[in-house]
Amino acid sequence: MKRHTRLILRGLLIVPSALMLTVMATPAPPSSPLEEAERAPATIRRQACALARWAVEQKAAGKPLSPLPFRPQGVLAKPAPCFVTINLDGRRRGCTGSFEPQTATLAQEIVRNAVRAWTLDPRAPRLRREDLRRVEFSVTIPGARRSVPDPSPYPPANYGLVVSSGGGSGVLLPGEAKTSRWQAREARRQAGIPQGSSVTFQVFRAVTFREREQK
């Protein structure tokens, strides 16, 4: 009887240990592009901005956009969406991007969007090759969008905004507006949504690599 009791107790002690090993062996979920961008070292941040400038300089000079000037590493080597913004004398002169990756890697995404921001953004006069000395590039990696009934509780310094109506939508990245009211109004204006139209709001967080901060 005593021997039988000891065997049962041993069995009870073994089960929790096995369960513990099972839990410890469960792999952690993969990091999102936003999380990886938040942890990106200074070298990766510099390379992201340098890649945007390289792409535009190549395009302006009529040179090919491949191969890339360096082998991408870290988050640059993985699929990730981004926006590339071009500022001239502190004013935005071009910005293009998406919330879903259109290419195989973030590095390729930066090249694609940098060229599109330089050549295709219709909201501002097209930049000239001689403007390259004065422009500043920034690369923004957006997180997941979240629908909200009212964007005003979300500080525009920390949250970007998407305003949509029908087939049109306007996007402002974090830090592009000082007040929530102006942010919503400007996103609506950029999308060409008439005042009074029914709209939906989405907010999102993002990480931005700015060229001036990487020097």
CATH number reported for the structural domain that contains residue 96 in this entry? 3.30.700.20
Q: Which residues pair with 84 in a beta bridge?
A: 96, 139
Asked if the structure places residue 53 within a domain, the reply is yes
60 CB burial (10 A radius; 0-12, 13-18, 19+): middle
Please state the domain count of the chain. Answer: 1
pLDDT tens profile 195-211: 889 999 999 999 999 99
Band the pLDDT of 127: cuts 50, 70, 90: confident
Rounded CA gap, 10 and 90, in Å?
Answer: 71
> For 86-113, what is the mean pLDDT?
96
Q: What is the pTM of this model?
A: 0.84
Asked if the structure places residue 119 within a domain, the reply is yes
- As a residue count, the chain comes to 215
Rounded CA gap, 7 and 76, in Å?
Answer: 56
Rounded CA gap, 179 and 176, in Å?
Answer: 9
Asked if the structure places residue 179 within a domain, the reply is yes
Cite the beta strand spans of 75-213 per DSSP E.
83-88, 91-97, 135-142, 146-148, 160-165, 168-172, 200-204, 206-210
Comparison of pLDDT for 150 and 20, the residue scoring more: 150
Asked if the structure places residue 131 within a domain, the reply is yes
Asked if the structure places residue 49 within a domain, the reply is yes
Q: Locate 82 and state its tokens.
A: 């981004």
Asked if the structure places residue 91 within a domain, the reply is yes
Are residues 37 and 207 in contact, defined by beta-carbon separation less than 8 angstroms?
Answer: yes
Please report the DSSP string for 51-71 in residue order: HHHHHHHHHHTT----S-SS-
Q: In degrees rounded to 5, what are phi and psi of residue 114?
A: -65, -45
Asked if the structure places residue 58 within a domain, the reply is yes
Asked if the structure places residue 184 within a domain, the reply is yes
Sheet containing 168-172: give its strands across: 146-148, 200-204, 160-165, 168-172
pLDDT tens profile 86-98: 999 888 999 999 9
φ/ψ region of 78 (left if φ > 0, alpha if ψ in -120 to 50, else beta) reads beta
pLDDT tens profile 40-63: 999 999 999 999 999 999 999 999
Peptide linkage before 122 cis (omega within 30 of 0):
no
User: What's the mean per-residue pLDDT of the chain?
Assistant: 88
Domain limits for position 188: 33-214
Rounded CA gap, 208 and 215, in Å?
Answer: 15
